[in-house]
Chain A
Amino acid sequence: MAKEIEAAPSVQLSSIAVSETHGENSPYFAGWKAYDENPYNEASNPSGVIQMGLAENQVSFDLLEEYLETHPEASFRGRGATGFRENALFQDYHGLPTFRKAMASFMEEIRGGRAKFDPRRVVLTAGATAANELLTFVLADRGTAWLVPTPYYPGFDRDLRWRTGVNIVPINCDSSNNFQITTPALEAAYELAESMNIRVSGVLITNPSNPLGVTISRSVLEDILDFITRKNIHLVSDEIYSGSVFSSSEFVSVAEVLEAREYKGSERVHIVYSLSKDLGLPGFRVGTIYSYNDEVVTTARRMSSFTLISSQTQHLLACMLSDKKFTKNYIEVNRTRLRKRYERIIEGLRSAGIECLKGNAGLFCWMNLSPLLEKPTKEGELDLWRTMVHELKLNISPGSSCHCSEPGWFRVCFANMSEHTLEVALERIHKYMEQRRT
C-alpha cells in the first residue's frame, strides 16, 4: 500500500501576485520572445527577427557620448572626494536641486519656451512607469477608473491598474477622424463607466500619442480641459515623447493651454515626463511628475521614496541638461534625424503599397494593414501579425494589444536600429507585398 506523500501546504501569495494584470501574456510581449530567440544581427544573423516592437531612440547617442568625452565633471573623477561622498549620501526626495532645475528648463526648451516650469513642482521617479503608477495612487482610489483614449500603450494596463486596483475605461477613437479624441467620445466613456457603477477619477492622455505618433491639437486639448473641468476630475498628460516631435512648432503641451487660461482649474492637471525616449536613456530610470496641484506635489514627493532616481544619475544629467549649448543642439539634431527616419519608412512603405496614419512625432509609425486582412476581426489581425513575426521576421506590435477598436493597424518602431537595418526591414516588406500580388 503506497504511503500518501503529504505535499507541503501551498503558500499563499497576494491576489495581486497571482493575477494576470501585469499583462505579460499579451501578444505585445510574445513578439519580444520571438525576437529574443532569434535576434537579427547585421553580421552574424542577417535573417533573424528585426525588433520593431521596442520604442527606443538610438539615433542620437553620438551627441551624448561626445558630451561625456569633453565634460569630465559629469563623472565622479571630475568632482573629487567630497563630490562623491555628498552624492552617494544624497537621498532627499526633493531631488538634487541642480537636477530639478535642469529638468524644468529642459522641459521648457522642448516646448520652445512656450510654457514655464517651476522646479519646485518637479517630482522625481524612477522612470515614467513609476510616475504613472504613483499618480494613480495619489489621484484615484481602488475601484475607480481612468478614461484612456484608444489605442494606447499596452504597458498602461499594468502601470495604471496592477497594484493600484484602478480600472481603465476606454475612450474609443477610430480612423474616421484620424483617431482624434472628441467630446462625444469622452462623454460616452464617462457614461459607460457610470453604467458599470464605476466612479471616474480622471482622463489620461499621451501627447504625442503612443502608438499613433501624432500630437494632439490645441482645440482637442481645450475640449479635454473643458470636459475634466465640467466633471471635476483629473487630467494626466503623459508627454514623454514631447522631444521627439519632428517639428518644434507642431507640439502643443497642456501646459501652454493652461498658461493661456491663466492657470484656472490647473489644480486638476498633471504632466508626466521622462528621459527614456527623448534622450534615449531608458536604463537610467529618469521620470518626473509635474503637477499644478500643491497637495499632489507634496504627496507624490513623499511617495517617490519608493522609487527615487539614483543620485549618481541625477548628477550626470544635471551637468548635461544645464549645458544650454548642448541641449539646444541636441533637441534640434535629434528632431531632424527622427524626421528623416520617419520620412524614409513612410516612403518605403508607400512604395510597397502600404499607408500609415499621417504622423508628426514619436519613434514609430501607425501602419494600416487592414486591406490585407483575411477577416476584418481581431483574429484576422493576429493571423497577419503571426505572419509578420514568423515569416517576415519583423516584430511589430498588433493594434489589438494597444486596445485599438479597428483591426488591421500595427505600430512599427524605426528609431531603435541602424539605417541599414531599416532598409533590410523595408526590403522584407517589399518582397512580401510583391508575393501577395502574384
Chain B
Amino acid sequence: MSYVSSNRKPLLSRKATNDGHAEKSPYFDGWKAYDKDPFNPTQNPSGVIQMGLAEHQLCFDLVQEWLVSNPEASICTKKGVDKFRDIALFQDYHGLPAFRNAVAKFMGRVRGDKVKFDPDRIVMSGGATGAHEMITFCLADPGDAFLVPTPYYAGFDRDLCWRTEARLLPVVCHSSNNFKVTRKALEEAYAKAVEANISVKGLLLTNPSNPLGTILDRDTLREAMSFINEKNIHLICDEIYAATVFRQPDFISIAEIIEEDQEYNRNLVHIIYSLSKDMGFPGFRVGIVYSYNDAVVECGRKMSSFGLVSSQTQYLIASMLSDDQFIGKFLLESAGRLATRHNDFTDGLCQVGIKCLNGNAGLFLWMDLRGLLMDSTVEAETALWRVIINDVKLNVSPGSSFHCSEPGWFRVCIANMNEETTKVALARIREFVLRNGNKPNRKEKCWQSDLRLRLSFRRIDDVLRSPCIMSPHSPIPQSPLVRTRT
C-alpha cells in the first residue's frame, strides 16, 4: 500500500502556541506541588494542604439531605425517569424555563430580595469562566481593553483575553486605603489607555472581591456607575461570591444601584453569576450572563450554544433552587458556617501576629505577610511563597499572581477543608512563624482582640443586629503591625 508521507510538522494557530492559557502563572505552580504530594489526614498527614482553591465545601450535608428527599429532581431515578426523554432532547439555548425562573428567583434572594431579576435576561454559559469569555466576545473587538482593579482573580487573563484577543488594563489599588477602588484610580487608568491609543470598552468589577474577600460600598458602586456612564463604556459586575457574604455590612449588588437613578444607561450594565461558589457546585458548570442590554442578551444567547448547561443539570438546579424552604435554610447555614470558619482562621493567625485584610465575604483570606519579606519585591514574595509551599506545605496563592501592586500579600482559601484540616493548617502556620521568630517585630501583641468585637455565630439576625465591626473603610487608625518600609 502506498501513500503520501511527509516529515513536516503542521502549523497550529497563534492562540494555541502563545501563553494566553495563562498556566505559567505561579497561581498554578502551587497546584502542581499539591498534586504531587496531596495532604490526607490518615494516608499522607505531612502532605501539602490545598489552600489555593476557592471552593465552598461547608454545606454538602444540606444538599445531600435534600437530594435524598427529592428523588424526582434527578431524571435518573425511578421517580424522575419519565422526564428523561424530554430533558435529554432539550437543547434550546433559551434554557429550561423552570431553570431560568429558579435562577432569577435565587439571585433575588441572595440579594435579600432587594431587587428582582427577569428570567428572560438570563443567558447560560459554561461556568463563570465561559460567561466572562462570552460577554467579552459580545462587547469587545481584538485589541480592545477592559479596566480591572488590582488585585484581581488570576483566571481573568485567560478568560477575557485568550481567544477574544481583548486586553486587561489594571486600575491600581493600594493597601493604604484597604484597596478601595477610587474614582481617581479609574480616571488615571482610563487616561493612560487613551494616551496609549487603546480603546477601552468597559470596566470589570468583582463584588464581593476575589482575592480581597471584601464587598464594594455604595459610594464606590455609584462612582463606578457615574464613571462608566460618563465615558460611555460597559460595566461588567462579577457577583459570583454574592452569597458568601457572612457578616455585615450587607452586600449591595449593582442591580440595586441601577435602580437608583433613571439617568443611568442600563444598556451598559451586565452581571456575571455562577453556582460554583455560592452553592459549591463548580463541577456542574452553571454560568450565567445577566444583561440589561437586549442586544447583548440576544447575541449572548446565540453564543451560549458553545457552552450550554447540561439539561440534566438545569433540571436538577431548577428543582433545588425553587425549594424556598431549603434555599432559606441553606443561605442561613452557609453564611454562619463561613463566618465561623473565617473567625477560626483570623483568630488563629492573629495569635501569631499575622493580620488579614478585614473582610466579610468570600471563601478566602487576604493575608498580610509583608513583614516577613526580606525586601519589598516580587522576588522576595516569590521566595517566601516557595518556602510556604515546600517547608510549611501549604499551597497559598502569592499576591503577584493577582497582579497586586504591593508584594507580600497572599490569598489563603479556607472553605475547602474540614475542621480537622483547618487545625492542622493553623498549627503549621503557627509553628512556622514562631520558628522564624528571630525576625524583628514578630511578637507584637495582637491588638485586634482588644478593638474588634467578638462575634461567635448564633442566629444570623443576631449577627445582623450586632454593631458593625471594623469595615475596610473604618476611620480607626492603621495597626502598628503594618510597618512602612524605608
**Chain A residues at the B interface, C-beta cutoff of 8 Å:** 8-9, 11-17, 22, 24, 56, 58, 61, 64-65, 68-69, 72, 74-77, 81, 84-85, 87-91, 126-127, 129-130, 133, 137-142, 158, 163, 201-202, 222, 225-227, 229-230, 232-234, 260-261, 264-265, 267-268, 276, 280-285, 293, 295-296, 299, 302-303, 305-313, 316
Judging by beta carbons under 8 Å apart, are A14 and B312 in contact? Answer: no
- Given contacts A22-B302, A310-B313, A13 and B308 within 8 Å (CB-CB): no
Judging by beta carbons under 8 Å apart, are A141 and B14 in contact? Answer: yes
B278 near A: Cβ within 8 Å?
Answer: no
A83 nearest CB across to chain B (Å)? 9
Q: Which residues of A contact B350 (CB under 8 A)?
A: none
What are the 9 tightest A-B residue pairs by CB atom distance, in nearest-first order?
A: A283-B311, A311-B283, A75-B76, A310-B310, A226-B4, A282-B91, A91-B282, A90-B283, A283-B90
Which of B115-123, B125-133, B177-185, B435-443 participates in binding chain A?
Answer: B125-133
Name which residue of chain B comes closest to A282, CB basis: B91
Partner of B283, one of A89, A264, A284, A293: A89
A165 nearest CB across to chain B (Å)? 8
Judging by beta carbons under 8 Å apart, are B16 and A137 in contact? Answer: yes
Judging by beta carbons under 8 Å apart, are B303 and A163 in contact? Answer: yes
B369 near A: Cβ within 8 Å?
Answer: no
Partner of B302, one of A24, A127, A133, A227: A24
Judging by beta carbons under 8 Å apart, are A232 and B10 in contact? Answer: yes
Partner of B68, one of A17, A77, A261, A267: A77
8 Å CB interface, B1-36 against A = 1, 3-6, 8-17, 21, 23
Q: Which residues of A contact B16 (CB under 8 A)?
A: 137-139, 295-296, 299
Q: Which residues of B contact A88 (CB under 8 A)?
A: 60, 63, 280-284
Q: Which residues of B contact A295 (CB under 8 A)?
A: 12, 16-17
Judging by beta carbons under 8 Å apart, are A313 and B89 in contact? Answer: no
Q: Which residues of A contact B85 (CB under 8 A)?
A: 58, 61, 65
Partner of B71, one of A77, A138, A232: A77
| Max chain A Cβ within 10 angstroms of own Cβ: one of B85, B129, B310 | B310
B379 near A: Cβ within 8 Å?
Answer: no
Give 21 pairs: A residue, B residue, CB < 8 Å, sorted on A. A14-B139, A61-B85, A61-B88, A76-B74, A89-B57, A126-B126, A129-B306, A139-B12, A142-B142, A202-B10, A225-B3, A229-B4, A233-B10, A264-B3, A284-B312, A306-B129, A306-B163, A306-B307, A309-B285, A310-B313, A312-B310
| Max chain A Cβ within 10 angstroms of own Cβ: one of B15, B133, B316 | B15
Name which residue of chain B comes closest to A313, CB basis: B310
Q: Which residues of A contact B267 (CB under 8 A)?
A: 8, 11
B462 near A: Cβ within 8 Å?
Answer: no
B22 nearest CB across to chain A (Å)? 9
Name which residue of chain A comes closest to B67, CB basis: A76
- Given contacts A17-B139, A313-B310, A283 and B91 within 8 Å (CB-CB): yes
8 Å CB interface, B132-150 against A = 133, 137-142, 144
Q: Which residues of B contact A307 (CB under 8 A)?
A: 126, 130, 306-307
Q: Which residues of B contact A129 (CB under 8 A)?
A: 305-306
Name which residue of chain A comes closest to B23, CB basis: A302
Judging by beta carbons under 8 Å apart, are A130 and B307 in contact? Answer: yes
Judging by beta carbons under 8 Å apart, are A133 and B306 in contact? Answer: yes
Partner of A284, one of B63, B88, B141: B88
Interface size on B, residues (CB 8 A): 84
Judging by beta carbons under 8 Å apart, are A14 and B138 in contact? Answer: yes
Partner of B312, one of A138, A141, A222, A316: A316
Assembled-state Cα–Cα distance A15/B166 (Å)? 13
- Given contacts A129-B305, A137-B13, A232-B10, A285 and B284 within 8 Å (CB-CB): no
Assembled-state Cα–Cα distance A295/B305 (Å)? 26
B27 nearest CB across to chain A (Å)? 14
Judging by beta carbons under 8 Å apart, are A305 and B129 in contact? Answer: yes
Assembled-state Cα–Cα distance A202/B4 (Å)? 16
B99 nearest CB across to chain A (Å)? 11
Judging by beta carbons under 8 Å apart, are A58 and B312 in contact? Answer: no
A129 nearest CB across to chain B (Å)? 5
A69 nearest CB across to chain B (Å)? 6
Which of B38-46, B293-301, B341-349, B472-480 participates in binding chain A?
Answer: B293-301
B81 near A: Cβ within 8 Å?
Answer: yes
Partner of A303, one of B21, B84, B310: B21
Partner of B21, one of A22, A299, A308: A299
- Given contacts A75-B74, A229-B6, A296-B12, A89 and B280 within 8 Å (CB-CB): yes
| Max chain A Cβ within 10 angstroms of own Cβ: one of B5, B11, B61 | B11
Assembled-state Cα–Cα distance A264/B3 (Å)? 10
Judging by beta carbons under 8 Å apart, are A14 and B141 in contact? Answer: yes
A113 nearest CB across to chain B (Å)? 21
Assembled-state Cα–Cα distance A84/B316 (Å)? 13
B78 near A: Cβ within 8 Å?
Answer: yes
Q: Which residues of A contact B232 (CB under 8 A)?
A: 9, 11
- Given contacts A91-B282, A133-B306, A264-B5, A280 and B313 within 8 Å (CB-CB): no
Name which residue of chain B comes closest to A264, CB basis: B5
A225 nearest CB across to chain B (Å)? 7
Judging by beta carbons under 8 Å apart, are A81 and B13 in contact? Answer: no
| Max chain B Cβ within 10 angstroms of own Cβ: one of A13, A201, A283, A293 | A283
- Given contacts A13-B139, A303-B21, A69 and B312 within 8 Å (CB-CB): no
Name which residue of chain A comes closest to B90, CB basis: A283
Assembled-state Cα–Cα distance A138/B129 (Å)? 18
B239 near A: Cβ within 8 Å?
Answer: no
Extra contacts, 20 of them, besides A68-B84, A139-B16 (Cβ < 8 A), are A11-B267, A13-B138, A14-B137, A17-B295, A22-B299, A58-B85, A75-B77, A81-B60, A89-B283, A90-B282, A126-B126, A127-B306, A226-B3, A232-B9, A265-B5, A268-B10, A276-B91, A282-B88, A285-B91, A312-B283
Judging by beta carbons under 8 Å apart, are B89 and A137 in contact? Answer: no
Q: Which residues of A contact B8 (CB under 8 A)?
A: 232
- Given contacts A17-B295, A229-B5, A306 and B126 within 8 Å (CB-CB): yes
- Given contacts A133-B306, A306-B133, A307-B306, A138 and B63 within 8 Å (CB-CB): no
Judging by beta carbons under 8 Å apart, are A74 and B299 in contact? Answer: no
Judging by beta carbons under 8 Å apart, are B6 and A230 in contact? Answer: yes
Judging by beta carbons under 8 Å apart, are A283 and B306 in contact? Answer: no
- Given contacts A11-B267, A68-B76, A302-B21, A280 and B88 within 8 Å (CB-CB): yes
Q: Which residues of A contact B89 (CB under 8 A)?
A: 56, 58, 280-283
B55 near A: Cβ within 8 Å?
Answer: yes
Judging by beta carbons under 8 Å apart, are A16 and B6 in contact? Answer: no
Judging by beta carbons under 8 Å apart, are A17 and B299 in contact? Answer: yes
Q: Which residues of A contact B302 (CB under 8 A)?
A: 22, 24, 158
Partner of A13, one of B23, B63, B162, B296: B296
- Given contacts A222-B3, A267-B10, A127 and B308 within 8 Å (CB-CB): yes
A403 nearest CB across to chain B (Å)? 20
